[in-house]
Amino acid sequence: MPTKKRIPKPPGGELVCSTNQMAIVEVRNGEVFAECHDAPGKVRSATGSDQKLFLRNWALSVITREDRSLSETITHQELEILRSQKYEYINEDGFEVIVQFRLPRLQSRGGSEAFAE
């Protein structure tokens, strides 16, 4: 089943990505930007708790546009961002940016699914 993310009104709409992609809809200065992101190979090839940690860190780096290690400790605040599927901040030009997203579901080698939530 594809990953879907509704685009807020106005203008509205929907972004459809594959299940193993992260769907991101960003509203910056009144403009909507929508993208599907593939997890890097190191995230997809990890197993167990490593895959979950790597997936969370990769997602946070894409969502916040900040570099971070795949093995970085996840704070409670960062976990809340992932759970809420929404991140808001003021960019360098002083505009509010609203990022909404759907996290990917990755199949681990053991057959179970890894979720960033």
Task: Decide: 2 and 104 in contact? Cβ < 8 Å.
Answer: no
Instruction: Domain count for the chain, please give it.
Output: 1
Full residue range of the structural domain in which residue 109 is found: 3-115
Residue of 82, 87, 80 whose CA lies nearest to 103: 82
Question: What is the chain's pLDDT, residue by residue, as a tens digit (117 residues)?
Answer: 666 666 766 667 788 899 889 999 998 888 889 999 999 999 989 988 899 999 999 999 999 999 999 999 999 999 999 999 999 999 999 989 999 999 988 765 554 454 554
pTM: 0.82
Contact assessment for residue 20 and residue 38, using Cβ atoms and an 8 Å cutoff: yes
